[in-house]
Amino acid sequence: MLRTVGISLASGGAALLAAPVALPAVLLSIAGYAVVAGSVATAVSQAVVADGLSEAKTKEADAQQ
Protein backbone atom coordinates (compact mmCIF):
# COMPACT_ATOMS: atom_id res chain seq x y z
CA MET A 1 0.00 0.00 0.00
CA LEU A 2 2.74 2.46 0.98
CA ARG A 3 4.72 1.56 -2.12
CA THR A 4 1.74 2.29 -4.36
CA VAL A 5 1.11 5.66 -2.72
CA GLY A 6 4.80 6.54 -3.01
CA ILE A 7 4.97 5.62 -6.67
CA SER A 8 1.79 7.59 -7.35
CA LEU A 9 3.14 10.69 -5.61
CA ALA A 10 6.46 10.50 -7.38
CA SER A 11 4.99 9.92 -10.83
CA GLY A 12 2.32 12.59 -10.41
CA GLY A 13 4.89 15.13 -9.29
CA ALA A 14 7.23 14.21 -12.12
CA ALA A 15 4.42 14.60 -14.63
CA LEU A 16 3.71 18.10 -13.35
CA LEU A 17 7.38 19.03 -13.45
CA ALA A 18 7.70 17.78 -17.03
CA ALA A 19 4.50 19.43 -18.26
CA PRO A 20 5.05 21.31 -21.54
CA VAL A 21 2.96 24.27 -20.36
CA ALA A 22 3.92 27.06 -17.99
CA LEU A 23 2.69 26.31 -14.48
CA PRO A 24 2.73 28.60 -11.43
CA ALA A 25 5.85 28.42 -9.29
CA VAL A 26 3.84 27.28 -6.27
CA LEU A 27 2.51 24.28 -8.18
CA LEU A 28 5.99 23.36 -9.39
CA SER A 29 7.30 23.62 -5.84
CA ILE A 30 4.54 21.33 -4.57
CA ALA A 31 5.28 18.90 -7.41
CA GLY A 32 8.95 18.83 -6.39
CA TYR A 33 8.01 18.02 -2.80
CA ALA A 34 5.64 15.30 -4.03
CA VAL A 35 8.47 13.67 -6.01
CA VAL A 36 10.73 13.67 -2.95
CA ALA A 37 8.00 12.41 -0.61
CA GLY A 38 7.01 9.68 -3.05
CA SER A 39 10.60 8.58 -3.52
CA VAL A 40 11.18 8.40 0.23
CA ALA A 41 7.94 6.49 0.83
CA THR A 42 8.83 3.98 -1.88
CA ALA A 43 12.35 3.52 -0.51
CA VAL A 44 11.06 3.00 3.03
CA SER A 45 8.52 0.49 1.77
CA GLN A 46 11.19 -1.47 -0.08
CA ALA A 47 13.55 -1.37 2.92
CA VAL A 48 10.87 -2.80 5.19
CA VAL A 49 10.09 -5.59 2.72
CA ALA A 50 13.79 -6.40 2.29
CA ASP A 51 14.30 -6.42 6.07
CA GLY A 52 11.33 -8.73 6.54
CA LEU A 53 12.72 -11.15 3.97
CA SER A 54 16.14 -11.25 5.63
CA GLU A 55 14.55 -11.86 9.03
CA ALA A 56 12.47 -14.70 7.59
CA LYS A 57 15.58 -16.29 6.07
CA THR A 58 17.42 -15.97 9.40
CA LYS A 59 14.57 -17.62 11.31
CA GLU A 60 14.39 -20.39 8.71
CA ALA A 61 18.13 -21.03 8.95
CA ASP A 62 17.97 -21.10 12.75
CA ALA A 63 15.08 -23.58 12.64
CA GLN A 64 17.04 -25.93 10.38
CA GLN A 65 20.02 -26.06 12.75
pTM over 0.75? The answer is no
What does the domain layout of the chain look like in residue ranges?
2-64
pLDDT, tens digit, for every residue of 11-49?
999 999 999 999 999 999 999 999 999 999 999 988 877
Report CA-CA distances (Å) from 53 to 25, 56, 57, 58, 60.
Answer: 42, 5, 6, 9, 11
